Amino acid sequence: MDLFAKAYQFTAAAEAKAAGLYPYFIPMSGNEGTTAIYQGRRIIMCGSNNYLGLTTHPKVREAAQAAIQEYGTSCTGSRFLNGTLEMHLELERELADWVDKDASLVFSTGMQVNLGVISALAGRNDVVILDKDDHASIVDGARLAWGKVKRFRHNDMADLERVLQDVPEDQGKLVVVDGLYSMEGDIAPLPEIVPLCKKYGARLMVDDAHAMGVLGGGKGTAAHFGLSDEVDLIMSTFSKSFASLGGFIAGDQQVIDYIQHTARSLIFSASIPPANAAAARAALHVMKEEPQRGVRLNQIGDKMRRGYRALGFDIGNSETAVIPVIIGDDTRTFIAWKMLMDAGVYVNAVIAPATPPGRQLLRSSYMATHTDEQLDQVLATFDQVGKQLGII
């Protein structure tokens, strides 16, 4: 059996390209936040995770440029050896303070946070318990761990309790959930999850990649519910509201110290470059100085959810500025994506395995910097495409 046989037999991408319906790896020639340039046309960007619109903020750009001038383009080593700058430590102190934890630790990407933290903490006699809609990085982190992996139905507290009951008392338990789910736009019910974790002696980790800067006055899902002291570990990435690249984990000092010395994705990866660290730190400062951005984002989310529902679209249980438009079929999802793109609106086409069968969708997400005129144009374009395809 040729190892490459599976590659030679993979034709789905080529077929979609031939049909003119391939929605991935789209090359942009310019990106200015709420708009982007594609094939010489300016389109409205509604498929980005730049929630606070900080990628173009003058303070964030200036901080990144100044860091390159002072430190160069790379640390050329891991945090464990020569790749730690004072800037990294300053950022970690500020992040810990922001999410009301003792300490934090910065990794090179958000995915590496989940890979490193979960695999470092869950040993052979431990169990990692995941929501079935958890991000792929959480799933892969659990797979890398030596412990067992169990899953519960999405946001189903009765099913979570069933899973927790089945784990022997002498086994360590780590429950990991997304704070804000990146495809459906709904929020983990932490006020119900926290008591269950305490009842069964489980530790709780919340992935706030999409919630940081968005919920809880920018501090994430735990702060949104007033439960920062009750959540054991808070994770987030820099590639969304922080307008950079990297990620962090925050928690008790001793736990962070253990992760720092055992997480392989930290120890064996080059550290976050100076420009990215400086950009993330500047973005954090803007979050503190300009809270109106988060307020505006949530107002936009309210407006767009009302708009889609009024038009007749199924947007599931979205509670945020991440709004899925559920199509339910691969081909129609791709066709709708192409029609929207041709009309000047970019969204993300999402099919299995990123969503369950029958939940194929167009993922739209919004920025605090979108104008009302742009938002109205997006709704009008969705209305036109939805009617043409018989979706509404």
Q: Which pLDDT does position 17 carry in this prediction?
A: 94
Average pLDDT, integer, range 63-83: 96
What the block records as the tokens of 39 is 């094939």
Q: Mean pLDDT score of the chain, rounded to an integer?
A: 97
- Among residues 291, 289, 301, which one has the least CA distance to residue 187? 301
Quick check: 54 and 63 in contact, CB under 8 A? no
Is residue 357 scored above 90 in pLDDT?
no
Average pLDDT, integer, range 114-141: 97
**pLDDT tens string 305-344:** 999 999 999 999 999 999 999 999 999 999 999 999 999 9
Task: Tell me the C-alpha distance between 50 and 367, whole Å.
Answer: 6
Average pLDDT, integer, range 282-298: 98
**pLDDT tens string 6-37:** 999 999 999 999 999 999 999 999 888 999 99
Neighbouring C-alpha atoms within 13 Å toward the C-beta of 357: 0
Average pLDDT, integer, range 275-292: 98
Instruction: Work out the pLDDT band at 352, boundaries 50, 70, 90.
Output: confident
DSSP readout, 238-291?
A: SSSTTSSS-EEEEE-HHHHHHHHHH-HHHHTSBPPPHHHHHHHHHHHHHHHH-T
**pLDDT tens string 159-175:** 999 999 999 999 999 99
Name the DSSP class of 26: P
Domain ranges of the chain: 12-45+291-389, 57-289
Instruction: Work out the pLDDT band at 74, boundaries 50, 70, 90.
Output: very high
Provide the whole-model pTM: 0.96
Q: Which pLDDT does position 163 carry in this prediction?
A: 98
Strands 203-207 and 322-326: unpaired
Give the residue carrying structure tokens 């086994």.
Answer: 171
Instruction: Work out the pLDDT band at 199, boundaries 50, 70, 90.
Output: very high
CATH topology for the 57-289 domain: Aspartate Aminotransferase; domain 2 (3.40.640)
**pLDDT tens string 33-47:** 999 999 999 999 999
User: What percentage of the chain reaches a pLDDT higher than 70?
Assistant: 100
Strands 172-178 and 126-131: parallel
**Is domain 12-45+291-389 in CATH 3.90.1150.10, yes or no?**
yes
